[in-house]
């Protein structure tokens, strides 16, 4: 195993962005211990005061948005506009979470006995392990750290080896905003560092974002060394349904951004275009014509539409999936090839690809590609479309384009995903609403929104009896067995 993490610019692989030493098990243990000691004091800080620190995080991120966006673009390969959106999401999350600092942390409910009060509250779990991906290197850490901080926890972050500098920059902003230095620890490394963190006895909760196979390993290991709260945010095979009455101009814009934004490297990327046969040919022709005109290049260049995929390994996997789809009978209407960009020597570019004649049982219709590939599946109508949407092990995001409000509302009920869009692509979630999916996409937790706090805190129920006597619930307020009604 290498002794250091070396991140490079995906658009210029010879350019090293950052180097960090790989954390050993001793380093992981020290990080957990440091976070645990700091957490005890942080938990005593009043929640509104914690919220003020989080608000300052948002202010600092806003001041440095351009600088951090450029780092995201250089290290993760996102075009500048999307890199700026990544940072803005963290700014928005800070504002939202800070606002929760003066909101309810529980509920008061009536008791069945007189002179008795019952309420719930939330308490920190302790130290949270956070394993984050490279494709949203600022936004996703903010989804995890800011609610965890508000709840009173310490944390250890293990970022992807592809984006360690972004995580380090974000952690630096937290500390400058007033988060105690020891409270937020960062360990760098590969799978071994993540595994050591997951099973550490001092870790009380694990929050993981990544692939389904890795998520299963993380969950099994964490629970074996529990008790731990484990929240998983995994893959997607997101579908855009286009009915015959849809606004095709709107569909084309949505399909291009949904499928090829971030070079298709989002868990919510539009991967399947489920389209009514009556409009299939026209829609495919229009999307393909636009896709062929997208500019591939250095993501820090404002003229670039699509940046590289993260590395050669990802490029080979994407190309292999497209070739397998063609072998199964799919036909490229656009792209379907590796691209060399003269100004980006050695970078891994894949042409925005549209595959037609895809059947619902094809591999490319069922497995996550995580690249700029859109599989087109023909359907005969609404019911057929919904069946195809749900015919996958994933359940993260889906979209439907139609002018029929009745069908749109039925779709929101029948589609089995955690997120449904109407007349918008499968990407574009906002932080004030819960984010997550069904089936193998996750394990029931949601990030962001008011529910984002749940994975980082425990519910405590409190009963206060001020009657001055023993009161037996379910007994004293009911007649004894055998008595007259």
Alpha-carbon distance of 285 to 430, in angstroms, equals 31
Say whether the peptide bond before residue 227 is cis (omega within 30 degrees of 0): yes
Please return the burial class of 236, using the count of CB atoms within 10 Å of its CB with bins 0-12, 13-18 and 19+: buried
Residue length of the chain? 485
Answer whether 125's CB lies under 8 Å from 472's CB.
no
Structure tokens at 182: 């020891």
Task: Centre a 10 Å sphere on the Cβ of residue 342 and count the other Cβ atoms it contains.
Answer: 6
Answer whether 445's CB lies under 8 Å from 104's CB.
no
In terms of DSSP H, where are the helices of 208-276? 212-224, 248-260
Please return the burial class of 384, using the count of CB atoms within 10 Å of its CB with bins 0-12, 13-18 and 19+: middle
Buried (b) or exposed (e) across 294-319, using 16+ Cβ within 10 A? bebbbbbeeebbbbbbbbeebbeebb
> How does DSSP classify residue 435?
B
Structure tokens at 3: 């002794």
Give residue 213's Cα distance to chain centre.
Answer: 16
- Name the β-bridge partners of 374: 354
Alpha-carbon distance of 38 to 33, in angstroms, equals 9
Answer whether 71's CB lies under 8 Å from 166's CB.
yes
Structure tokens at 307: 């940046």
* Residue 111 designated active-site: no
Q: At 36, which helix (H) or strand (E)?
A: helix 25-42
Alpha-carbon distance of 309 to 193, in angstroms, equals 24
Please list, in sequence order, all residues whose beta carbon lies within 8 angstroms of the beta carbon of residue 388, skipping any fewer than 6 positions away. Answer: 239, 272, 274, 360, 377, 379
Please list, in sequence order, all residues whose beta carbon lies within 8 angstroms of the beta carbon of residue 63, skipping any fewer than 6 positions away. Answer: none
Structure tokens at 160: 């992807």
Catalytic residue among 111, 166, 167, 267: 267
Answer whether 115's CB lies under 8 Å from 466's CB.
yes
- Grouping H, G, I as helix, E, B as strand and the rest as coil, residue 190 is coil
Q: Known catalytic residues?
A: 267
């Amino acid at each position: 195993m290498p002794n250091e993490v070396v991140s490079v610019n995906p658009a210029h692989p010879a350019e090293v962005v950052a180097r960090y030493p790989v954390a050993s098990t001793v380093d992981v243990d020290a990080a957990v211990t440091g976070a645990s000691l700091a957490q005890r004091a942080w938990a005593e800080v009043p929640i509104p005061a914690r919220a003020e620190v989080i608000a300052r995080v948002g202010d600092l991120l806003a001041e440095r948005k351009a600088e951090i966006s450029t780092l995201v673009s250089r290290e993760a390969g996102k075009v500048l506009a999307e890199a700026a959106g990544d940072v803005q999401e963290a700014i928005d999350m800070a504002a939202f979470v800070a606002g929760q600092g003066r909101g309810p942390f529980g509920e008061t409910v009536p008791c069945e006995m007189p002179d008795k009060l019952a309420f719930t509250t939330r308490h920190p779990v302790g130290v949270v392990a956070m394993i984050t991906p490279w494709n949203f290197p600022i936004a996703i850490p903010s989804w995890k750290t800011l609610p965890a901080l508000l709840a009173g926890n310490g944390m250890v972050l293990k970022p992807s080896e592809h984006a360690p500098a972004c995580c380090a920059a974000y952690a630096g902003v937290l500390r400058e905003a007033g988060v105690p230095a020891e409270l937020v620890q960062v360990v760098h490394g590969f799978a071994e560092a993540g595994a050591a963190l997951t099973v550490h006895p001092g870790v009380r909760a694990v929050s993981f974002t990544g692939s389904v196979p890795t998520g299963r390993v993380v969950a099994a290991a964490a629970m074996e060394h529990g008790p731990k709260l484990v929240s998983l945010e995994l893959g997607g095979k997101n579908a855009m349904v286009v009915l015959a009455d849809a606004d095709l101009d709107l569909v084309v814009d949505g399909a291009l951004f949904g499928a090829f934004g971030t070079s298709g490297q989002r868990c919510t990327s539009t991967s399947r275009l489920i389209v009514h046969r009556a409009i299939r040919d026209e829609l495919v022709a229009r999307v393909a014509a636009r896709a062929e005109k997208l500019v591939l290049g250095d993501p820090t260049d404002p003229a670039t539409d699509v940046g590289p995929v993260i590395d050669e390994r990802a490029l080979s996997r994407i190309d292999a999936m497209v070739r397998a789809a063609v072998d199964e009978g799919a036909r490229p209407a656009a792209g379907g090839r590796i691209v060399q960009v003269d100004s980006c020597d050695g970078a891994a570019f894949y042409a925005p690809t549209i595959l037609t004649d895809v059947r619902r049982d094809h591999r490319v219709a069922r497995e996550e590609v995580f690249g700029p590939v859109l599989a087109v599946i023909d359907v005969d109508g609404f019911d057929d479309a919904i069946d195809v949407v749900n015919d996958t092990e994933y359940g993260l995001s889906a979209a439907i384009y139609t002018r029929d409000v009745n069908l749109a509302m039925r779709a929101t009920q029948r589609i089995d995903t955690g997120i449904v869009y109407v007349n918008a692509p499968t990407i574009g979630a906002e932080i004030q609403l819960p984010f997550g999916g069904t089936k193998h996409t996750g394990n029931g937790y949601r990030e962001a929104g008011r529910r984002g706090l749940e994975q980082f805190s425990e519910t405590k129920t409190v009963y206060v009896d001020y009657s001055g006597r023993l009161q037996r619930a379910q007994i004293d307020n009911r007649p004894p067995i055998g008595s007259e009604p």
